Amino acid sequence: MDQHARLEGVVYTQGPDWPGYARRVLLWNWLTWLLNFVDRGLIGPLLPLIIVEFHISYATAGGLVSLFFVGYLSTFFGGLLADRFGRKPITVVSVFGFGVVTCLTGLVAGVKSFAVVRVLTGAFEGLQYPAGAAWVSETFSYRQRGRALAFWETGYSLGTLAGIALATVVAAHLGWRAVWPISGVLTLLVGVAFARRLKERPRDQTPGHDEALHLRIQKGSVRIRDVLRIRNVWVVFVMHGLYNFTFWMAATWVPAYAIKVHHMSFMSGGLMSATLFGGVSVGLGLSGFLADRIGRKRAIALLTPIAALCLWAFTRAQSPALLFTLMVLGGVFGAYISSAIALVMDSSDPRQAGTAFGVALFGGEVGAVLGPLTGGILAQQFGLQSAILALPISLIAAAVVVLLAREPQREAGLVGAASLGSRA
């Protein structure tokens, strides 16, 4: 049976104005999410300059980058708070918080103050992830959710790419300290517009609520222990950890790898990691499309091994053109994150979706802490060439772990639907 024809059991209660509201939710959350990642994309290209100014080792530099993700472990609390106080208030606090601290980063006096501001930046940015993921996910129906999340997650890839480009160009002319206030002020301006223009509607009016009723995953009361019993939460916990391990290790150490191993310029090294996230921007659309068509698990299991093969070939290539090409392809086929996090909403009650995302995405931040740090230790002990081999290995692991996930909508025949908002 065609998968779109089997979703008719759900009664969607949204009115004709819902698609417009859903687009506003998606666009404003995308814009603030993009700025979240502009900030963290700055550090990779700037790291060679910071290492020289502060006279630190690769291992220490990797530790400094990882401290940001220690702060980012606030994702767990962000999810709890988003369920309690709403998605929008937590997002507003997050955006204004990391905007201010980003501005202050250019004023650091040494390694200790740099470490403090990076932890604080991570803590504020981490609050946004579960709030935004839950808000976007519950606002779209199952068959649109994969693509909506894919578009939202391009904020991460395009923001990282923009941050890398901004850092590379500005630092080459004005030094690494000049980059941070530019990013911070832009964030604060967008935060003001977000707070004034976007409203949040009650969760019991969302498509996610209607699907939860149909699948009988709506509980009489909302308890954390119910979230901890959801298999997909733990599958995504591990998969997100592997994803962030891969891509934040790459964002941190690929520029240094290109400069030290392949003798590229500072500009070329920065652009090398930018091409990875350019590829991710394309790959998110591909992954989201396939996830809505053939299912989340199949899409990830199909694309991720191809990405691993491309990044393994990257570690063997010598030609600059081939290196850039393989880096792009690794991003295109490795961008599984939107399909993975869709699995959380697919199996959660919207009233506890923020908490579910908080737990699942916490795993991502564990991976993000370990990726730059592990890369620095491996580079220090065995060289950058050996360190980069961890990238394809972690992608293969993700392709295996996704097989443990459940897709309740597909199992229940809930795989298609009338257009969002077409039923009053």
Check residues 361 and 242 and name the one with the higher pLDDT.
242
Fold annotation for 19-407: Growth Hormone; Chain: A; (1.20.1250)
Structural domain spans, the chain: 19-407
Burial class (CB in 10 A: 0-12, 13-18, 19+), 234: middle
- Mean pLDDT score, 353-379: 85
pLDDT tens profile 168-213: 889 888 888 999 999 999 999 999 999 999 999 998 888 888 887 7
Check residues 246 and 419 and name the one with the higher pLDDT.
246
- Mean pLDDT score, 71-78: 86
Of the pLDDT bands very low, low, confident and very high (cuts 50, 70, 90), residue 408 is low
Percent of the chain with pLDDT strictly greater than 70 = 92
Q: What are phi and psi of 96, to 5 degrees?
A: -65, -35
Of the pLDDT bands very low, low, confident and very high (cuts 50, 70, 90), residue 66 is confident
Residues 6 or more apart whose Cβ sits within 8 Å of residue 238:
363, 401
CA distance 319 to 322: 5
pLDDT value at position 220?
A: 54
Highest mean pLDDT of the ranges 1-5, 60-64, 314-318? 314-318
Q: How would you label 66-104 residue by residue, b for 16+ Cβ within 10 Å and e otherwise?
A: bbbbbbbbbbbbbbbbbbeebbbebbbbbbbbbbbbbbb
pLDDT tens profile 118-140: 999 999 999 998 999 999 999 99
The phi-psi region of residue 199 (left if phi > 0; otherwise alpha if psi is between -120 and 50; otherwise beta) is: beta
pLDDT tens profile 301-349: 999 999 999 999 999 998 999 999 999 999 999 999 989 988 988 877 7
pLDDT tens profile 203-217: 888 888 888 777 665
Of the pLDDT bands very low, low, confident and very high (cuts 50, 70, 90), residue 398 is very high
Q: Which residue has the tokens 């900030």?
A: 39
Of the pLDDT bands very low, low, confident and very high (cuts 50, 70, 90), residue 1 is very low
pLDDT value at position 216?
A: 65
pLDDT at position 416 over 80: no
Q: Give, in order, the Cα–Cα distances in Å from 382 to each of 376, 385, 388.
A: 10, 8, 11
- Mean pLDDT score, 232-249: 92
pLDDT value at position 215?
A: 66
The secondary structure of 306-375 as a DSSP string is HHHHHHHHHTT---HHHHHHHHHHHHHHH--HHHHHHHHHHTS-GGGHHHHHHHHHHHHHHHHHHHHHHH
Of the pLDDT bands very low, low, confident and very high (cuts 50, 70, 90), residue 222 is low
Q: What number of H helices and E strands is found in the chain?
A: 19, 0
